Amino acid sequence: MRFADKTIFVTGGAGFIGSAVVRHLLDDTGARVVNIDKLTYAANLASIPQAGGHPRYAFAQADICDGPALRRLFETYAPDAVMNLAAESHVDRSIDGPGAFIHTNIVGTFTLLQEALRHWRGLPQERAAAFRLLHVSTDEVYGSLGSEDLFTETTPYAPNSPYSASKASSDHLVRAWRETYGLPTLVTNCSNNYGPYHFPEKLIPHMILKGLAGETLPVYGDGQNVRDWLYVEDHARALTLVVEHGRVGETYNVGGRNERTNLAVVETICDLLDRDAPQPAGPHRRLISFVTDRPGHDRRYAIDATKLETELGWRAQESFETGIDKTVRWYLENRAWWQAILERGYQAKRIGVVAR
Ligand SMILES: NC(=O)c1ccc[n+]([C@@H]2O[C@H](COP(=O)([O-])OP(=O)(O)OC[C@H]3O[C@@H](n4cnc5c(N)ncnc54)[C@H](O)[C@@H]3O)[C@@H](O)[C@H]2O)c1
């Protein structure tokens, strides 16, 4: 059994990708999981339905910027690995309020590295050699692509938003803690994720819920910005593979080889809603409307995942067509999950527009 008798910290385990990692670790491996999450607006413990009473699961409400709290957790659970997914993650929010991004993504990663280093230095030799810290990052650190090329692990960093700049900073800190102190770290940089339990502010769930409500579907700019979409459960599998078999000090890019323009994504959602939730007023595509572009909106992201595929044997199991079909169905079948978020007061209004 993978990770039998191992304890893994998952920070941000109540978020979108973190919860997929926790579900995967509980369902498919023997790992003991400690979910460390501050429970910001983006968190939802209901995204881990199997957690209640699970013998291999513990939850700790803690901020990764809080060194003493992290130290207590390291002393209590003595983990074999740390997967860092705690972050402020929404680009539009980073435009309106970058402070929280600097704090959590940079200072929080620094604090986690310091406490992980302290813990690692105290481990017996064999456990220290096997210890891993995986820092989960984004392809947005590489900036924007032209129409042809792909991001590889050696693409120079050129972040354009406060979000991607804060993630780039944290990636550099992780690298430095490896080079300077020898902490066994790895970094993954992943393309856009989608799938079940995705907070409604992100493009795909936002469009599904707006479409279901018969409201306007706001597409930024001309809709021709390209993203490389990855089903979240494929990402979760990639991350545990990297913890298990990745080479220390290395970066692995994770992507689904599923490039789509934002407009094509929204049109696909419209067509699936026409099939599964048709509206008497007509096809959902009639609701599409083009709105002012996001400032600094990167034109294209696309990942070359060859290294992960050849070194670790990972393959995305979902194509965009199968993944988006599953996702739309999930939102139709799990209304209670997202209605609770809407009732908590989340308002799907436009943010992140800068007057210049
Ligand atoms: N969503 C994507 O498409 C995508 C793509 C590539 C990389 N990533 C990266 O993956 C990671 C997870 O992204 P996500 O989409 O699941 O994010 P998310 O916003 O859904 O979840 C983030 C989680 O972190 C928690 N958190 C925030 N600040 C914290 C703090 N100071 N201390 C402890 N917990 C805190 C939140 O409560 C939330 O549960 C992030 O590092 C993000 O940069 C995301």
Position 223 in a domain? no
Position 268 in a domain? no
Query: Per-residue pLDDT tens for 212-252?
Result: 999 999 999 999 999 999 999 999 999 999 999 999 999 99
- Looking at residue 341, what is its pLDDT? 93
What is the spatial distance between Cα 166 and Cα 112, in angstroms, rounded to a whole number? Answer: 15
Give the residues across from 135 on adjacent strands.
84, 187
CA of residue 73 relative to chain centroid, distance: 23
Angle at 115 between CA 59 and CA 87, to 5 degrees: 55
Residue range of the domain that includes 40:
7-192+230-257+299-319
The mean of the pLDDT values for the chain is: 95
Which residues does 97 contact at the CB level (< 8 Å), separation at least 6? none
**CA 198 to ligand 1: nearest atom:** 20
Which of 320, 316, 217 lies closest to 273, judged by CA?
A: 217
Task: Please say whether the dihedral angle defined by the alpha carbons of residues 228, 234, 240 and 242, taken in this order, is positive or negative.
Answer: negative
Query: Per-residue pLDDT tens for 2-54?
Result: 999 999 999 999 999 999 999 999 999 999 999 999 999 999 999 999 999 99
Position 291 in a domain? no
Task: Kindly give the interhelix angle for 67-77 and 109-121, rounded to the nearest 10 degrees.
Answer: 40
* Residue 184, CA atoms < 13 Å, CB-side half-sphere: 22
Position 337 in a domain? no
Position 105 in a domain? yes
- Looking at residue 299, what is its pLDDT? 86
Angle at 80 between CA 40 and CA 252, to 5 degrees: 70
Position 352 in a domain? no
Position 304 in a domain? yes
91 versus 19: the higher-pLDDT residue is: 19
Q: What global pTM score does this model have?
A: 0.96
286 CA → ligand 1 middle, Å: 33
Q: Has 139 been annotated as catalytic?
A: yes
pLDDT band (50, 70, 90) for residue 348: low
Position 271 in a domain? no
Q: Has 234 been annotated as catalytic?
A: no
Residues with CB under 6 A from ligand 1: 11-12, 14-18, 37-40, 42-43, 63-65, 85-89, 104, 108, 136-138, 167, 190, 192-193, 199
The predicted model gives 338-348 an average pLDDT of 83
Is a pLDDT exceeding 80 seen at residue 346? Answer: no
Exposure of 83 by Cβ count < 10 A (0-12 exposed, 13-18 middle, 19+ buried)? buried
Number of domains in the chain: 1
CATH number at residue 249: 3.40.50.720
Q: Has 259 been annotated as catalytic?
A: no
